[in-house]
Amino acid sequence: MIFDFIHSMYSVVIGITIGVIIFVFLLATPVENIQNQHIVQNNNKNTIPTKKVFSETKKTSTQKNKVGQLVNHNNKNNKKEKTHNLKTISDTLHKAKEDLILILSENKNKTKTNYDLINQSSRLALVNILCTSKSGGSFNPISGSGVIIDKRGVILTNAHIGEYFLLENYPYNGFLNCIVRTGSPASSSYDATLLYISPTWIKNNADSITSQDPKGTGENDFAILLINSSLKKGKALPKEFPYIATDISNSNNTVGSPVLIVGYPAGFLGGTAIQKNLYQASAFTNIKNIYTFSKTTTDLVSVGGSIIAQKGSSGGGIISTITSKLLGIVVTSSSAFSTSDRDLNAITLAHINRSILKDIGVTLNDFLSSNLTGTTKHFNTNMQPGLTKILEDAINKK
């Protein structure tokens, strides 16, 4: 879009400059003709009829020669002036062209730099969440993505990933181990605790807890984690984590809006490869369609197919390349053999904000500005036991 605008401005400037050249050329020609006509008219007034005496005819001839010399002299001056004007305009045009080429080059480099920066900063805030069990049982290794949305280490991910934090001690203490990994390839970095998970989603989707290919619309499919310790010996938690600011408005959730998708796709990897050779991936694209879970709200966006359209990318980020803010997180993908033929969907931050407000009476921004330690204790005391029991009951029915 930026290049199209600059190209249009370049064309306008070139057109105006060419118009100026034509105008000056036309303007210069009438002036010369008027001067010549004036001189010739004066010559006609002084011309003696041929019936006059020879001496007068000779005088007239002399006048004609003088007039002719004057006309020739004026023609030379006008040609020089016209040539000078054309050269000046040509130089101006050349300078304008050079300036526009420089602007185009600078903006191209600036745009490329901005895209690179967005990609780099988004990858720094991207995490992989890996949950493994000690002895297999009902659970296979679970790998998903998440995005850090607060400098204190708050991670936004999917509920169908966050639910496993509720089951870390089922059927016995330490049965499941969920960790946060960073980098590319992903390496063990942090422990985290569940800060919030949509109770509505747990109630509606508990029966799919052990499914290898769960189905769903993505509605309310979100959870919030908090990094609480480092897994690297001798290394403390950073004072500030790299993060992506959130956009809970719908101003950039429109068809055609440019976005960046980031995640840890793992659909074609086995368990060992996921643990040792899982890499980040990102793709620039645009919003293809928007959907609603109600009547008027924008709750889900489609971003088409890309390498990110695989299992493991769930919880990955959809970032606006206009604002560099997080617009949504990946929740579902259609089925197709090729990733390019799939359709990746993401719930919007606006939907998450409305869901939190409905469930606990605060906005996402209010939630993030709270005392996170106190929020964690409140969740563990008042919400976690009931939600864990819902999942355990669903597993026991299998």
Distances (CA, A) of 81 to 84, 86, 87, 279: 5, 9, 10, 69
225 within 8 A of 165, measured Cβ to Cβ: yes
Q: What pLDDT sits at residue 285?
A: 93
d(CA 312, CA 309): 9
Q: If you ran DSSP here, which 8-state letter would residue 196 be given? A: E
Is 99 in the same domain as 236?
A: no
Is 149 in the same domain as 48?
A: no
176 within 8 A of 250, measured Cβ to Cβ: no
Q: What pLDDT sits at residue 394?
A: 92
d(CA 263, CA 308): 6
Residue 5 phi/psi, 5-degree rounding, is -65, -45
Q: What pLDDT sits at residue 227?
A: 98
d(CA 9, CA 379): 56
Q: Would you call 132 helix, strand, or coil by DSSP?
A: strand
Is 239 in the same domain as 143?
A: yes
Higher-pLDDT residue of 63, 379? 379
Name the one residue in this structure whose structure tokens are 């020739």.
Answer: 72
Q: How confident is the model at residue 10 (pLDDT cuts 50, 70, 90)?
A: very low
Q: Where is average pLDDT lowest: 179-183, 274-278, 298-302?
A: 274-278
pLDDT digits (tens, 9 = 90+) for 169-179: 998 898 999 99
Q: What pLDDT sits at residue 282?
A: 93
Half-sphere exposure of 272 (CA within 13 A, CB side): 0
Is 95 in the same domain as 195?
A: no
Higher-pLDDT residue of 12, 280? 280
Q: Return mean pLDDT, the chain.
A: 79
- Among 64, 80, 115, give the residue marking a domain's end: 115
Contact residues for 234 (Cβ-Cβ < 8 A; gap 6+):
none
Is 146 in the same domain as 291?
A: yes
166 within 8 A of 197, measured Cβ to Cβ: yes
Of 25, 37, 40, 35, nearest to 76 by C-alpha is 35
Domain count, the chain: 2
Is 287 in the same domain as 367?
A: yes
Q: What pLDDT sits at residue 161?
A: 95
Is the C-alpha dihedral spanning 330, 355, 244, 6 positive or negative? positive
Q: What pLDDT sits at residue 48?
A: 37
307 within 8 A of 297, measured Cβ to Cβ: no
Beta-carbon count within 10 A of 182 CB:
19
Range of the domain at 88: 2-115
- Output the CA angle 85-90-91, nearest 5 degrees: 100
Is 210 in the same domain as 270?
A: yes
Residue 297 phi/psi, 5-degree rounding, is -90, 150
188 within 8 A of 179, measured Cβ to Cβ: yes
Is 108 in the same domain as 186?
A: no
385 within 8 A of 163, measured Cβ to Cβ: no
- Among 84, 115, 146, give the residue marking a domain's end: 115
